A and B are shown apart, each in its own frame.
Chain A
Amino acid sequence: MATGNGSEAAQGLRMVAPPLVYAILMLAIPLLTILTFSFLKDGYQTVIREFTFENYLAVWADPIFRTLMLRSLWVAGLVTLATVVLAFPVAYFLSFVVASRHKAMWIFLITIPFWTSYLIRVFLWKVILGYNGVINSGLKSLGIIEQPLSFLLYNTGSIVVTLAHAYAPFAILPIYVALEKIDRSLLEAGRDLGESRLMTFWRVTLPLAMPGVLAAVLIVFIPTIGDYVTPTLIGGGKIPMVANLIQAQMLDIDNKPLGSAIAVTAMGIVGVLSLIFLFLNRRFLRVRQ
C-alpha cells in the first residue's frame, strides 16, 4: 500500500522485528552459546576460553554416548513407525469415512487426551504396566496369572508404547490435512482408469498423502529423540536416553563444554538424518496440491 513511509521490505522488517528479536535473544544466542561452549575447555564448574576439539573426540570415544544415542534413535524410530502406522488408518477414516459435519467432533475427541498433563499421562502408563499395575492386578484378580508379569515395565517396549500414545495427535493431524487436500475426483479418475480401490489407494491416495506422512514422521521423530520424562518415569532410570545424558553432564556433573558437545552432536545427527530422510522422499514433496 502506498503510504509514503518506506518500502514494503522496510515495513515487513519492522513488523517482524519484535518476535524476531525475541527469538534471536532467547533462542539463537543460547543455541550459538551452546555451540561455542562445545569447542571450549572445561575447568571444573567454569569454562576455559580455549578452543579445542577434545569434547567432540570425547563424545565420539564415549561408549555410553554411543549406546544412549543409538538407543534414542532406535526408540524414536520405533515410536515413529508405530505412531505413523497406527495413525494413518485413523486419519484416513477421518478424512474419507466420517461425514463432514462430524469431523470437528472427531478431531476434538482425538486432541483432548493430548491436552491433558503430559507427565500424568506418562505416569499413567506406569500405573497400567507396572508390577502392581492395572494389567497385572487386573489379570491376577481375574485369576489368569499367579505372579505379576515383570516384562511389562522398565524396558524399551514400554517406552515405545508410552511415547506412541503421547505423540498420537501429532501424527494424525498432518496426515489428515494432507488427505483432506486430495481432490476427490482424482480418486474417481483412478477408478475410472481401471484401477481397483486398493490400487487406486496405492497409486493415487498414498503418494498424495506423503507430504503429510513425512511431516508426521519428523514431528514425532525429532521431539522423541530428546524426550526426558518418559525414560525417567517409564524406564525407571534404567534405560536412559540422550536427553538424560545431556541433563546429567550439564547440570549434575556440570561439565558444560562436554554437555554442549553432546547436545550439538545429537542435534547434528538428528538434523542429518532428517535431511537424508527428506532427500530420499523428495519426489513426494514436489507434489503441489
Chain B
Amino acid sequence: MNARNPMPVVREGGPARDEHGRPTPIETRRVMIECRNVHKYYGDYHALRGIDLKIREAEFFSLLGPSGCGKTTLLRTIAGFEDIGSGVVLIDGKDMANVPANVRPTNMVFQSYAIFPHLTVAENVAFGLRRDPRSKAEKAAAVEEALAMVGLRGYGARAAHALSGGQRQRVALARALILKPKVLLLDEPLSALDRKMREQMQVELIKLQRQVGITFVLVTHDQEEALVMSDRIAVMFEGEIAQLSFAEELYTRPASRRVADFIGVMNFLPARILGDTETGVRVDVPGFGEFEVPAANVSRADAGDSGPSVGFRPEAVTLLTRDAPAPNRETAGAIEEIVYYGDMTYYDVRLDGSARFDGKGHPIRVSMRNVFGRDLPDLGTRTRVSWSPGSLILFR
C-alpha cells in the first residue's frame, strides 16, 4: 500500500475553469448547498437559530465551533438524518424538504466511521452499489479503483473489524465516494486519530478533495484543522453562524471578539475610544498609547460586557533585539514568562503602563520563531516590542 501517494483517478466533476485551466474563484461558482433561515428545536432547546449559508461547487467547507454549537446538527440536517425544523435546505438547487437521506445526493463519513463489522473491506465499499445495474465485474473494478484512490489497493478481502483507525477512515471515504455524491459530508472524521495520523490525513483529504472535485463539508471543533483544510469556514456558536469567511480572513480579521478568541491565540487589551476619524478610529490602549486603528480593522460586532478592546495575534508584534531600530512603532516592557515550543517560543511581556486603566496588569503574548544559534532572552529582562496599528483589530 502506498498511503502517501494515492493513485490518481480521472477527474469527473470539479469546478468550472478559466482559459488557463485554473479553477474559477469560489464566489462565482454554482451554489451546491443552500440553507435559508433554518431553525431546529429539540423540545425547548433551540439547536439551530436561523442558519443562512451557501456552500459552493468543489469547495472544501468547514463548520467549526465548540461542542454543542449546532454544527453536527446542521450537517445531519443537510444529510437528511434530522428533520428540517423550519426554513429551506437546497442541494444543487433542489428543495430537500421531503427527500429522505437515502436518496439525497450526499454521502457521509461518520465520526465513528460506521464500518460494517460483519463485512469485508470490499463489501463495505460496495455496500451502496447494491441497486447499481452494472455487472459484478464492473462493480468489483469500481471498488478496486475506489480503494486505490484512498491508498488501500489490495485490502478488499480483509475483515473490516481488523483495520486500524486510519484504515477505517479510508474505507469510509471510499465507501462514500464510490457513489459519486455531489457533496461529501464529514462529521469530525479525524477526531479519533492520533496527532501524527491526523496531520497526515488532513493533507490526504485536501488532495482527495481536489482530485475528485466535489464539495466537502467538514464538521470539526479543531480550529487548526479547519484552517489547514478549508477554503471557507463557518464559525458557529449557540446555533448561529458567527462568521463565514475564507480561512485566512477568519484568522486575520475575526468578526467578533468571541471568534477571535476561538481561533488561535489572541491578545486582548482594554481600549478607550477617543473618536471616529475619516480613515479609522482613534483609541487609547495602555502600553501602546494613543493611535488610529484603520477602518478595515474595526469589528462591528458588539463587544458585549467586556467593553471595547484591541486584539492582535502573538506573531503580529515582534521582540526587538537590544540595538535594532524599530521598523514601526515600539513600546517597552519586561519578559514575565517564557514557553518554549522547539520551533518557536512564546514570551509573555508586561508592557510599561499596561495597568493604567484598571490597575490590572495585561501581559501580552508574543511569539518568535527560534533561529538556530540565537540565544533566548532571559526571564525578567527588559525588552522592546515593535508593532503597527494595521495589525491590531478593534472590537468596540
Contact = CB atoms under 8 A, between A and B. Distances in A.
Contacts, number: 13
Interface string B130-158: 00000000000000000000000000000
Interface string A1-37: 1111000000000000000000000000000000000
Contacts of B100: 2-4
B81 A4 contact: no
Nearest to A1: B81
Contacts of B80: 2
Interface in B55-111: 80-84, 98, 100-101
Interface residues of A, number: 4
A2 B76 CA distance: 10
A4 B98 contact: yes
Interface in A75-117: none
Q: Chain B at the A interface: mostly helix, strand, loop or mixed?
A: loop
Contacts of A3: 100
Q: Chain A at the B interface: mostly helix, strand, loop or mixed?
A: loop
Residue among B82, B98, B100 with the highest chain A CB neighbour number at 10 A: B100
Chain B interface size, under 10 / 10 to 19 / 20 to 34 / 35 or more:
under 10
A2 B102 CA distance: 10
Residue among A1, A2, A3, A4 with the highest chain B CB neighbour number at 10 A: A2
Interface in A114-143: none
A3 B101 CA distance: 8
B40 to A, nearest CB: 11
Nearest to B79: A2
Contacts of A1: 81, 101
A8 to B, nearest CB: 10
B75 to A, nearest CB: 13
Nearest to B96: A2
Nearest to B84: A2
B42 to A, nearest CB: 10
A1 B83 CA distance: 7
Contacts of B101: 1-2
Interface of A: 1-4
12 contacts: A1-B81, A1-B101, A2-B80, A2-B81, A2-B82, A2-B83, A2-B100, A2-B101, A3-B100, A4-B83, A4-B98, A4-B100
Give the 9 A-B residue pairs with the shortest CB-CB distance, closest first: A2-B83, A3-B100, A1-B81, A2-B80, A2-B82, A4-B98, A2-B81, A2-B100, A4-B100
Given A2-B80, A2-B81, 8 more contacts: A1-B101, A2-B83, A2-B84, A2-B100, A2-B101, A3-B100, A4-B83, A4-B100
